[in-house]
Amino acid sequence: MTTDGRLLIVGAGQAGVQTASNAREFGWQGPITLLGAEPHPPYARPPLSKAFLNGTATEDTLALRTVGFYADHRIDLVLGERVEHLDLAGDGTGSAVTGSVRRRSFDRLVLATGAEPRRLSLEGAGLAGVVVLRDVHDATTLAGRLAAARTLVVIGGGFVGLEVAAVAAAAGVRATVVEAASSLMNRVVSPVTAEIVARAHRASGIRVLTGVRPARFVGDRHNALSAVELDNGEHLPADLVLIGVGARPCDDLAAAAGLHCDNGVVVDDRSVASDGRTLAVGDCANLPDPSPPPGPAVRLRLESVDNAVEQARAAAGTLVGAPRTCRGVPWFWSDQGSLKLQIAGLGRADDDVVVRVGKRPGQHTALRYRGPRLVAAECVDSPADFLTVRKALAAGVSFSREAAADTGVPLKQHFSAM
């Protein structure tokens, strides 16, 4: 296995930076080029909907690495260059053509192209004031509009939408969240946790509507956004709308190059794509479920810092001939105003749920069981429970439902006794 070839990483987000860093750490000797489409040095995205939006974080504080890191580790960081086309040979070598019509040759390729916000093809979707949030440019635009807004409507009750709504409400903006499903965050949390979160947001002044969809965005005579019309006929006054209905993987480059794509670039548990040489990591990758408990083989995309880091480590190991599988307990977090939601493991709609109510109002832990096994937990303002369950899942330990339901005994006491 040669480690002195030219390594090209397309995408300079969390997964791309981590892959470059780990590749050098694990022994890659050749040139490493980290190619980013944005003009900004690599930065953390999660704070964009929280700390950056409320002014407690800046581009500088979001930086993933210091200015000198890339030079110190012989990583050629190229910004503002978007790859338009890939030419792949059968052995994984090839070249990438950028928008400036520059051709960059490589011996190994890693795709870390991320994901982009899904948009709505509704009447009025192009009005000024209808925005999405994915990158720092979006966040800067949103922050400027939010400072002048009186009414915000968030379409989609997922993490990003709820985080932005919480920031807006704290700033005195009248915020409404519109979710098509019957509960918030319905793809990632149980209905009982969703209700706890909804209750907290309503208490902070946010209006939460579920089971309804936007029908169109209404403009005034100056073609400025003025309202959102719902499919039940209600009109919501709005001078700002955030579309937060999920993201689609940026896998067009990979598909055009002949790689197998299905809701992302299909990779194995070592981050290797269908040609056996190219690698893909982060939000653009469709990977085998990395969760420790045995179960049916399923594939998924995981949009999280944790997954980006773990997949990057697996990819770097593959590059230097020391492959390691991407295995571990997926975990996620969302800070929504004063509420902190932490999730360990991957739940399913048919899981059984055992709820532990905490000592403080709103504090709770929902433990999800599949048959006799503990498979996930959703913790609201319960960091100790989150850490305990994450460790337990990693160790293959399962508390009985009876023990889990006994709130008189801390979860960590059950774990330490096993």
- pLDDT (tens digit, 9 = 90+) per residue, 46-105? 999 999 999 999 999 999 999 899 999 999 999 999 999 999 998 999 999 998 888 999
- pLDDT (tens digit, 9 = 90+) per residue, 349-387? 999 999 998 888 889 999 999 988 999 999 999 999 999
CA distance 101 to 275: 25
- pLDDT (tens digit, 9 = 90+) per residue, 273-295? 999 999 999 999 999 999 886 66
Identify the pLDDT of residue 400: 86
CA distance 54 to 341: 19
Identify the pLDDT of residue 319: 97
Mean predicted confidence (pLDDT) in 134-146: 97
119-245: in CATH 3.40.50.720? no
Amino acid at 357: V
SS3 call for 369: strand
Q: What is the mean pLDDT of the chain?
A: 94
- pLDDT (tens digit, 9 = 90+) per residue, 183-235? 999 999 999 999 999 999 999 999 999 999 999 999 988 888 999 999 999 99
Identify the pLDDT of residue 57: 96
347-416: in CATH 3.30.390.30? yes
Is residue 223 within 8 A of residue 127, CB to CB? The reply is yes
Pairing of strands 75-78, 32-35: parallel
DSSP H helix total and E strand total for the chain:
11, 26
- Structure token digits, residue 224: 């400025």
| Per-residue pLDDT band at 144 (split at 50, 70, 90) | very high
**pTM given for the model:** 0.95
Identify the pLDDT of residue 256: 97
Q: Which has the closest alpha carbon to 241: 136, 159, 124?
A: 124
Identify the pLDDT of residue 1: 65
- Give the Cβ contact number of residue 200 at 10 Å: 22
Amino acid at 177: V
Pairing of strands 352-357, 364-370: antiparallel
Identify the pLDDT of residue 210: 98
Amino acid at 294: P
Burial class (CB in 10 A: 0-12, 13-18, 19+), 307: buried
7-116+248-319: in CATH 3.40.50.720? no
Burial class (CB in 10 A: 0-12, 13-18, 19+), 417: exposed
As annotated, the residues of the chain forming the CATH 3.50.50.60 domain(s) are 7-116+248-319, 119-245
As annotated, the residues of the chain forming the CATH 3.30.390.30 domain(s) are 347-416
| Per-residue pLDDT band at 414 (split at 50, 70, 90) | confident
SS3 call for 169: helix
Is residue 64 within 8 A of residue 43, CB to CB? The reply is yes
Is residue 305 within 8 A of residue 114, CB to CB? The reply is no
CA distances from 96 to 9, 85, 91, 275 (A): 10, 6, 15, 16
CA distances from 167 to 56, 267, 340, 407 (A): 11, 37, 14, 32
Q: Who wins on pLDDT, 113 or 297? A: 113
